[in-house]
Structure 1
């Protein structure tokens, strides 16, 4: 036993040595600033090869305990170049200045479900949007509304200008015809549901044929609009399969990864901000200037013409000529937005809390938007090896959206206005009774005053993540990474048309009540091993499993013959209920390997196996590979100290899936009444149990380089994306016993280029100018199509329609051209450009603006046609055509002959945002750290030849057929005053 004592003593010394070394460590404090001396908050301070890190507080200060023997620390922050600083043995404090990373080479970008890499070694073109770009110029109403013009490779259209948002977002062209076309939104690891739910207005408007109450022409808002942009720290956009394939089937149209603000170590900081503004209509079309003769021309009946002429002269004599367009859309809405945020914590626990409320009036009376939200994000380090984080967000929103858009009953505001001349008398009498409109099916002033169309949402989004170091050595680290969460919302739609309304003479009051519950869950469990056998090689291996589920339940009740003064559906003479329920479960298995050689060559290879309950074979796992390579020549020493500061070549390939529509594999049963008995009949839509998912394949290649000491950076990308087996609903011969069937109908491809530039044209002690310019274009083509081409998503050849056809653009618009049917245009722009600029004077005054140029891209503009039919077009009496007819008459004569007049260039140059801000940092009181004041304009200047309310419009929803313009709720512009106080 005595002989063993030296052995045990030596073993205990070895075991205690790390603790003894750590106990001999020291505490280092520091201050982090930019080159102008401004503090950098949230910078990460870490020790290489050790799992110890901290962040700088709002004043740029940090404190870090380091063990004996550690000689250097690494400092990194978004927007700045990373820097390694040596810490001398006797030093207790350091001051670090970070240089701005104009080319964003040190920006960390997501490359997998649990891994990331610096942009200088990235194989894909991943767009990033900072908090300042998102909300620091001219804040918009909703998140989907503030993304426009900020994503290279995206085509974004507002479905309607109605309060509450609603946009169509397409990344790198058409990714599906009738499948999912919208990107996946991921917020702090939680997959967000973005379903647009119809409010049932089709039961009154009859916009879509078939009599179903739900329709994609109701222009509902997208649910991503619930998320408040003020809480967001950063957004990354994975635009194609080469980057997004690892996210599975819900990522077929790209991924928008949103990271919300997190707490920072240090004293609790509090920020209170207040925005006050005014919202106005962006543009009015104008109204026809009537005379007695023009009034008489509204009818072909001689007696009626005489009566109309007298009605006009009487109204003119009484001073009762009105601009009803201005009355309906000319309301000046007041907007307010209040945000309180708090951030702080210790070296173990940090938190971020925000409470915000906004209320905005619409340009139509009795419309508007309200949103109240609370967020709490908490991060806690249980030990040096385990850290956890929780994100919670509660949202309550309410949108009064009015009634607009396509309508076959003459009840929506735009359709009614189109046939209402300025001499009509629509105002209420002294008792508040509105007269009937003799020129239309409804009195728009009465409709505004008495009807209601409200969407109200209660939503909770909760996410959690855990990162645990399972093994750690000088060369290898193995971590368990788990992320996931839940997205649950209750959506209630409330549509009321009282029986007193002119167009309710038959239904005698309509109440439409919709109730929707949606529960989405997802989780990702993965193991990540980082292995660095030498300074020349670093390997990162990750593998794991994923699951996403969805449970959507929509119940829509349409009641007519509603008792006067009542709104409940049980207070009615007739009630029709419609219910739609869908559930899905997607499972995935993934593995990915990343290798970095000599800190200059990065190789990535991975595969994802996916199965879905929506596939024909629910048990089959489909394989979707990905691979990428980046070769940074300057990191490898080539061309160092020459013209280029950084030069990188890159290429990536990936495949992704888009699952079939819910229920497409089944032949469902529909309710039927047989001899007074309820029963079920086979539906006329045939299911296909062998239906397969769409498969997307994308090859992306490009180069990135920076010059002039990094002050000028360029990013050039080319992509080729192919979609195989895209899904379509096909017509069947009557002999089959069915009318339609889902099938894998063909293939299409997109190819395009994206060019980006980041620059700092001016950098002096008193003036700094940061600028970015982006250019992008996309071209699509249907390469295989197994069914006959037919019009899709509009009104057929007479007025212009989309049509999928082999050998043609996937977004072509076809119609009558005077000699038959031909191609009239294309919804895809010829190209788009945008530039964002931030000019700062004396570190106090900042001017920021965003310009967006969309060149080309056609809309089917039927708003002007409706005004022609009603005889109210502002240019109705102009004579510019060769036949010498009034232009309004001439355009009507072309209906059924030539549809070219309805397909219009929707290009524009728009000053989307401009803001001027001033920061005050020297104050007589110590408890206020700073005050910022500013003014901003949103969508105030648009240069376009497009003759409607806005070239950005999509009355037919977010799917394939965007760009249809039928009397939408007009777009708005806004001016705001901002003040923010930091405590």
Structure 2
């Protein structure tokens, strides 16, 4: 400590030092516009190398007192900074900003309380603007709106059911049994993204884990957030960028900033979207004749009965396409939004009220989201600013019954074995016949069952920014951020006794109630110190804390009284409760040095502890460091064709805490002759369990050409995960079956390349484009437990297997000669391209392209249809045995799984839209702007993958994505848009 005293004293002196002499002052005024002459409100005007500044008003005007012989820096998001000598500006001068295509001057988050221009950044950080997120062809939910837009991400839909549910992995596999999803931060609030099961496994028997299962296709809670309210999204993919956010950031961080009030008159916007939703693709059904109908059974008597059943149905004109009846419906979608945005010099506000309502492609399914948001910012004094962001969300999703199933009751499984000549429609009294080909009648299931998920959610974020000290050389600020995320989730699933598959249970009602409260705060001190003409220092330090309290109660009632849904109106009732609590605490310090406006050096360390660790009191240290060298700013490379050239490297560590309760041996309930008690669980706790540790080194370069009209970025990363978590088997002699353990290490290496360009720019046409390429390769470098299949259905059908020296996402299975590698879920590479072409500053064509090359799924959708004898290509003959393809594929079961592990490559036009901006309407003075448009979402997909969609993850958001078992089919949408400004 004594050694630090001189440094601390010098630093304190520098904070408090105020120059005694001030240069002679003059007042400068002017107007800031874009290259089309439109005023730019809220542009920042500062005196270079000082903290003096102001912002432009609604008309783009500014006025500022500045020292003579100084320079003014004028900046605004999306435009390049202008540095102009004050002496050259006369009162009333007009300053024109040029669009920043290469995003050199974009400000990017570098810590919990600091930010940096992209031209000086040591990390590769992705930014998605509101226009890219929601301004082309809006998706149903926020997580779906991210799909295809994040270089370095692998995103799969768990299901196409209304209400969302996506699996997002950034830069490969970060955990096997731990959390694989990124941390979502909305206005400083750490948002919960738990997927809560509705207990449908009770009916489907999809897994052996009782009432809950990842195969219940629950939605992810990040889907609640409205994309329309978001101003910007930043994705911190690597440990070097995310390390400062602590243990919940091992999978990366997605920072969401919602819209804020802007100075000027109150601006009112009303927007309305109207659309039609349909299935992206139907598989088709087998075309039967009498002989094919007879072939569905090998029993002679049954075969003849099937022949006669088909003949009678054909004569009566009752041959049906049940897939089309169930999944071929058109859904109507509407989305209405009202927003108000305005403020004075001291106070800004943003308010929005919106409702989205969409029908699903299955009858009696759909999604509704109602949201109210109020964001307020107020300047108490010149040195103290406060902000609050509040959001109330009410959502409801009817998700039907789809996916994996061991009881034959889900829609897809029942349809897979039901031929078109079966009669499933109700009679004149509304009574549905039993389906003699399956355990359920899918038309009856759609008409009578209910599977609803409803949410009431409150999000509140608070910010306090207080300037404690300020001089021309130094500024010290206290920044406090925090808030809470509370939601109540109710799941309501009802299967009345009339359903064919309720013969035994006589009606089943499942009602779940989940309450979740997450709170967090970040308290930081930040000092910005100009040590000299060539050195600027930013020092930050602070403390953080996150708490979570999750309480899920699920009641399952059977023998439910007819026309009743209350679980109390039943003959039998069972209840399960799952509760988790955690507290993560940490403190950090970070130093950023900007040398000669060309070299940026960053170093920091975070100390973390978690109640989930084996030793809850122990702090683990996670350092980070970064270096960027801008060769053009340092005049190593003269500006010309190459305007900006930056080399960068960054290193960081992060961690992922063990699963809740893994250090304890829990107790399970016992009931012997009516006497309740507790028994020791067969899963043993591990008091020595440690967090997974992640280290990452990334290097790269960024180049801007041709006056910033062309930008190139390239990144290589090497991410290593140590002590990854697994459930390991134990010898029977231990008295236990499994135990959580730190089982080994794995590695991810990858490349990310991005190009931003403005190929055309003139008075008639402006074209902005971006192209990104990325790939990842993983490898298990150490494994201390036996290698076993996991995450699917074993070697017979294809499965994942963690194996030392092999890819962490390899798919293995029978190959005709034993067990071998059949594929890999990780794509060979991915590419995307976002484009916006504007004609005469009025008509705008926007589109997003996405190409995924390689990456296999375990496609059991086709297998189920083959086994049921209903595949559309069942009778095709393309194999060398001369057999019907359906018969040939069935014959492979038990000898090879190669027919199930299939390439899931695709090329997709994710979004395409045409918008026209009318601007002001002279005849209607109170209308300040009018825009109309039409868009298509997921309408065009080119793929050889034979199932509903190559983006699928039947087993939820965890490690084992890409498992395809007759999910709710993916949708496409066509939408008309109108937006009016007042």
Question: What secondary structure is seen at the aligned counterpart in 1 of 2:287?
Answer: coil
Taking the TM superposition and a 5 Å limit, the aligned residue runs for 1:615-694 are 615-694=613-692
Quick one: distance in 2 between partners of 1:961 and 1:446? Answer: 32
Supply the distance in 1 between the matched residues of 2:748 and 2:146 (Cα, whole angstroms).
Answer: 22
How far apart are residue 65 of structure 1 and its match?
5.2
Pick the aligned partner of 1:766 from 758, 764, 767: 764
The secondary structure found in structure 1 opposite 2:275 is strand
* Residues 71 and 89 in structure 1, CA contact (< 8 A), matched pair in contact too: no
Deviation of 1:880 (Å): 1.4
How far did 1:89 drift?
10
Equivalent position of 1:822 in the other structure: 820
* 1:328 counterpart (326, 329, 339): 326
Distance between the aligned counterparts of 2:737 and 2:224, measured in 1? 38
Residues 81-160 of structure 1 mapped to structure 2, 5 A cutoff: 81-87=80-86, 91-160=90-159
Residue 860 (structure 2) aligns with = 862
Q: Deviations over 1:60-94 (max 9, x none)?
A: 52444536769654321111101234456995433
Cα-to-partner distance string for 1:342-380 (whole Å, 9 max, x where unaligned): 111111111111111010000000000000001111111
Deviation at 1:30, TM superposition (A): 4.1
How far apart, CA to CA, are the structure 2 residues paired with 1:618 and 1:876?
58
2:311 alignment partner in structure 1: 313
Q: 1:24 to 1:649 in 2, by over 3 A?
A: closer
- How far the C-alpha of 1:282 sits from its partner, in A, is 0.3
Match of 2:714 in 1: 716
**2:887 partner SS:** helix
Aligned partners of 1:835 and 1:266: how far apart in 2? 36
Contact 1:767 / 1:842 at 8 angstroms: preserved in 2? Answer: yes
Tell me, in whole angstroms, the C-alpha distance in 2 between the residues paired with 1:36 and 1:737.
76
Contact 1:881–1:890 (8 Å) recurs in 2: yes
1:749 to 747, 762, 770: 747
1:489-520, CA deviations, whole angstroms, 9 ceiling, x for partnerless residues? 00000001011111001101100000000000
Counterpart in the other structure of 1:778: 776
Name the residue aligned to 1:383: 381
Give 1:751 shift: 0.1
Residues 1:497 and 2:500 are matched in the alignment: no
Aligned counterpart in structure 2 of residue 262 of structure 1, from 260, 263, 285: 260
Kept in 2: contact 1:265–1:350 (CA 8 A): yes
Write the distance in 1 (CA, Å) between the matches of 2:979 and 2:935: 14
Counterparts of 1:526 and 1:90, CA distance in 2: 38
The offset of 1:533, in angstroms, is 1.7
Structure-2 separation of matches of 1:60 and 1:397 = 39
- SS of the aligned residue for 2:708 comes to coil
Q: 1:721 to 1:19 in 2, by over 3 A?
A: closer
Structure-2 change in CA distance of 1:155 and 1:793 (3 Å): same
C-alpha distance in 1, partners of 2:705/2:25?
A: 45
Q: How far apart are the structure 1 equivalents of 2:207 and 2:513?
A: 21
Q: Give the whole-Å Cα distance in 2 for the aligned partners of 1:41 and 1:849.
A: 28
TM-score, with structure 2 as normaliser? 0.96
Question: What are the superposed Cα offsets for residues 894-922 of structure 1, whole Å, 9 maximum, x if unpaired?
Answer: 11111000000001000000010000124
Structure 2: distance between partners of 1:814 and 1:94: 69
Report deviation, 1:977: 0.4
Asked whether the 8 Å contact 2:920–2:927 carries over to 1, the reply is no
Give the Cα separation in 1 of the matches to 2:456 and 2:188.
21
Q: Which residue of 1 aligns with 2:77?
A: 78
Residue number in structure 1 paired with 2:237: 239
- The question of 1:43 aligning with 2:50 is answered no
In structure 1, what is the equivalent of residue 6 of structure 2?
none
The answer as to whether partners of 1:556 and 1:579 remain within 8 angstroms in 2 is yes
- Of the three residues 581, 589, 592, the one matched with 1:591 is 589
Following the alignment from structure 1 to structure 2, what is the Cα–Cα distance between the partners of residues 52 and 929?
Answer: 34
CA distance in 2, matches of 1:673, 1:22: 86
Report the Cα distance in structure 1 between the residues aligned to 2:22 and 2:247, rounded to whole angstroms: 50
Cα drift, residue 29 of structure 1? 5.5
Question: Which residue of the other structure, out of 777, 785, 789, is the alignment partner of 1:791?
Answer: 789
Q: Give me the whole-angstrom Cα distance separating, in 2, the residues matched to 1:289 and 1:170.
A: 41
Q: TM-score, normalised by structure 1?
A: 0.96
Residue 192 of structure 2 is aligned to residue 193 of structure 1 = yes
Which residue is equivalent to 1:612? 610
**1:889 corresponds to which residue?**
887
Cα offset, 1:36, TM superposition: 2.0
Residue pairs, 1:51-70, within 5 angstroms: 53-56=53-56, 60-64=59-63, 66=65
Distance in 1 (CA, whole Å) between partners of 2:29 and 2:385 is 23
Q: Distance in 1 between matches of 2:544 and 2:459?
A: 19
The CA deviation at 1:815 is 0.3
- What residue in structure 1 maps to residue 7 of structure 2? none
SS at match of 1:468: strand
SS in 2 for 1:521: strand
Question: How far 1:642 sits from its partner (Å)?
Answer: 3.5
1:32 aligns with 2:56: no
Which residue of structure 2 aligns with residue 707 of structure 1? 705
- The answer to whether the 8 A contact 1:274-1:339 is kept is yes
- Going from structure 1 to structure 2, the CA distance change for 1:804 and 1:63 (only over 3 Å counts) comes to same
Structure 1 runs not aligned, ≥5 long? 1-16
Residue of structure 2 in register with 1:181 after alignment:
180
Q: Is the 8 A contact 2:42 2:60 kept in 1?
A: no
CA contact (8 A) 1:55 1:265 kept: no
Out of 447, 450, 462, the residue aligned to residue 449 of structure 1 is: 447
**Partner SS state of residue 156, structure 1:** strand
CA distance in 2, matches of 1:345, 1:179: 45
For residues 905-920 of structure 1, what are the structure 2 equivalents within 5 Å? 905-920=903-918
CA–CA separation in structure 2 for the residues paired with 1:919 and 1:255: 35
**How far 1:46 moved relative to its partner?**
3.6
Task: Return the offset for 1:765.
Answer: 1.3
Distance in 1 between residues matched to 2:852 and 2:884, nearest whole Å: 32
Pairing partner for 1:899 from 897, 907, 916: 897
Counterpart position of 1:934:
933
The Cα offsets for residues 302-361 of structure 1, whole Å up to 9 and x where unpaired, read as: 111111111101110110000000000011000000011111111111111111101000
> The residue matched to 1:246 in structure 2 has which SS?
helix
Q: Give the superposition deviation at 1:659.
A: 0.3
Q: What are the ranges of 5 or more consecutive residues in structure 2 without an aligned counterpart?
A: 1-17
Q: Shift of residue 52 of structure 1?
A: 5.5
2:920·2:930 contact (CA, 8 Å) conserved in 1? no
Cα distance change on mapping 1:90 and 1:379 into 2, 3 Å: same
- In the TM superposition, residue 38 of structure 1 has moved relative to its aligned partner by 3.1
For 2:707 and 2:19, locate their aligned partners in 1 and report how far apart those are by CA, in whole Å.
43
Q: Distance in 2 between matches of 1:29 and 1:370?
A: 49
Range with bigger deviation, 540-549 or 670-679: 670-679
Is contact 1:379-1:388 (8 Å) kept? yes
Q: Is the 8 A contact 2:43 2:60 kept in 1?
A: no
What residue is the counterpart of 1:951 in the other structure? 950
Task: Determine the structure 2 residue equivalent to 1:3.
Answer: none
CA RMSD, Structure 1 to Structure 2 (Å): 1.8
Q: Structure 1 pair 589/319, CA: closer, same or farther in 2 (3 Å)?
A: same
Find the aligned partners of 1:705 and 1:67 in 2 and give their Cα distance.
34
Cα-to-partner distance string for 1:159-195 (whole Å, 9 max, x where unaligned): 1000000000000000000001000000111100000
Distance 1:972 1:191 in 2: 30
2:13 matched residue in structure 1: none
Partner of 2:15: none
1:807-860 per-position Cα deviation (integer Å, ceiling 9, x unaligned):
000000000000000000000000000000000000000000000000000000
Write out aligned runs for 1:515-526 (5 A).
515-526=513-524
- CA-CA distance at 1:534 after TM superposition: 1.0
